[in-house]
Structure 1
Amino acid sequence: MEIRAFAERVLLSDSLSEKLIPIETPITDHEPGKPFDVDEPTRPANLQFAPKRTAPAMPKFAGLVDPARRALAHHIMANHELQALEVMAWTLLRFPEADPEFRQGLVTVMADEQRHTRMHAERAAKLGLEFGDLPVNCYIWKKARSFQSVMDYLAGLPLVFEGANLDHSIEFANAFEAAGDKRSAALMRVIHNDEIEHVRFGLEWLRRLKPEHASDWETWNAHLHWPLRPEKAYGDLFQEEARKAAGMTDEFIALLRKQAADSK
């Protein structure tokens, strides 16, 4: 299967099940095609982006003792994962001239995003809420629309959104555990481990593509578009060891910690 055909299926299908079909092997990239852009991904009717401030907010951790609130949390996170998958497909189509090795690596990450979407949707359903029964937001997608290059993508999605999820995944794992939901907690820990590899992928490519003498921190900041900024790249439960495992230097982590302290 061609990478472009896979990306088009993910981005342009109006069927959730089609979006989540794994790429057929062998994966080829003989015809990356011309740059292609869309304002929004094509989605089924029940997963269309809702007007601003009409989708339900993430429930507070204390409320997760209620199975309905846990279902809502998984519903929201399924949409986060689906948006990330769609942004990755858009990146493949928007920047077909990108390094073929980057494109192959991104497809591998997309397979995880497909799996994460299914995991959250299935868990929400087990808790009584079908994915698409509630309105969903477009926050990640809208922020990605400002990406003007692969470097912007690397700075924004892997190093901000997935970087922050190094913390959020553990925060939710702990909260689900406290609510007595070991299955949901285990799901979040699986996602946490995958996010380490996704952040590593983003960081490795940022280093490969950045100017020779530029630092990771300088390059990252240079490619962030407001409102994405360093303080969006972490949560309350800062996971230093996960960031080290993802390849962040002590200096980069120290600057992130300083940013976190200064923003309080």
Structure 2
Amino acid sequence: MEIRDFAERILQSDSLAEKLRPLDGPATDRIPGPPQRFPLPARPANLKFAGRKEAPAMPAPTAFRDPAKRAVAHHIMANHELQALEVMAFTLCAFPDAPTEFRHGMLPIMADEQRHTRMHAQRLEEFGMTFGDLPVNGYFWLKAQDFQSPLDYLAGLPLTFEAGNLDHTIEFEQAYDSAGDKKGAGIMRAIHQDEIGHVAFGIHWLRAMKPADQTDWDAYIDHLHWPLRPEKAKGKAFQRQPRLDAGLTDEFIDQIQHAGRDDLR
């Protein structure tokens, strides 16, 4: 199957099952196609983007004793994972001239996003809910509309949203565990491990694509688009070791850890 066909299936199908269907056999990149930007992904009616004020807010970890709150968290995170998948498909279609190795490297990460979405959706069913029962926002997708190059994608998704999830996944693992929800905690731990690899992909390709005389940090900053900024790449409880495991330098990690609202030049 062509990589382009796989990406278009994700973006153009209004069936959740089709979006989450694994790649059909080995992929080829012989026909990457012309650049194409999708203003919105097709989605089933119950998963179309609603306004941010319509979608529920993430429950506080202290509320996870309530099973209903834990279910809401799974619903929100399922939408995050689905958006990440769609943003990756958008990137493959918008930047067909990106290196073939980069494009092939995105495929196992997209498989992870499909699996993460299914994990949250299946857990929702155990709570008596269906993915799509609540309104969902399109925050990640809307930020991707500002991407003008693969480097913008790397700065925005792997090195900001997914890097921040290195902290969030641990926070929510602990919240589920404290509530006695071992299944929820296990889902978050599995996703955390995958996110380390996703961030590693991001920093590897940032280094491969940026000018040789530019530092990792300067390349990262140069390719962030407001309101994305370094402080978005971390959670409340900063986790240093997984960032080291992903290949970030101590200097880069220090910059993220101490990032504030005035960091962008």
TM-score (norm 1): 0.97
Counterpart CA distance in 2 for 1:131 and 1:165 is: 21
Q: Which whole-Å CA distance do the structure 1 matches of 2:127 and 2:228 have between them? A: 33
Instruction: Kindly report the root-mean-square deviation, in angstroms, between the aligned alpha carbons of the 2 structures.
Output: 1.2
The CA deviation string for residues 36-86 of structure 1, in whole angstroms up to 9 with x for no partner, is 111110000110001231111111111111111111000000000000000
Q: Distance in 2 between matches of 1:199 and 1:140?
A: 16
Residue matched to 1:188? 188
Paired residues of 2:85 and 2:113 also in contact (CA < 8 A): yes
- Percent of aligned pairs with the same amino acid: 60
Partner residue, 1:8? 8
- In structure 2, relative to structure 1, the CA distance for the partners of 1:26 and 1:65 (3 Å cut) is same
Which secondary structure state, in structure 1, belongs to the residue aligned with residue 214 of structure 2? coil
Identify the residue that residue 215 of structure 2 maps to in structure 1. Answer: 215
- The correspondence of residues 1-264 of structure 1 with structure 2, limited to 5 A, is 1-259=1-259
Structure 2: state its 5+ residue gaps: none
d(CA) in 1 for partners of 2:50, 2:8 = 23
Deviation at 1:108, TM superposition (A): 1.2
For the residue of structure 1 that corresponds to 2:129, the secondary structure is coil
Distance 1:148 1:188 in 2: 31
**2:97 is matched by which residue type in structure 1?**
E
Task: For 1:122, give the aligned amino acid.
Answer: Q
Shift of 1:262: 8.7
Mean alpha-carbon deviation: is it higher for 24-33 or for 221-230? 24-33
3-state DSSP of counterpart to 1:259: coil
Deviation at 1:163, TM superposition (A): 0.4
- Displacement after TM superposition at 1:261 (Å): 11
Deviation at 1:240, TM superposition (A): 0.3
Instruction: Judge conservation of contact 1:68–1:128 (CA < 8 Å) in 2.
Output: no
Please identify runs of 4+ aligned residues in structure 1 that moved more than 2 A. 260-263
The alpha-carbon deviation at position 235 of structure 1 amounts to 0.3
* Cα-to-partner distance string for 1:197-250 (whole Å, 9 max, x where unaligned): 000001000000011111100000000000000000000111100000000001
SS at match of 1:65: coil
Please say if residues 70 and 124 of structure 1, whose CA atoms lie closer than 8 Å, have aligned partners that are also in contact: no
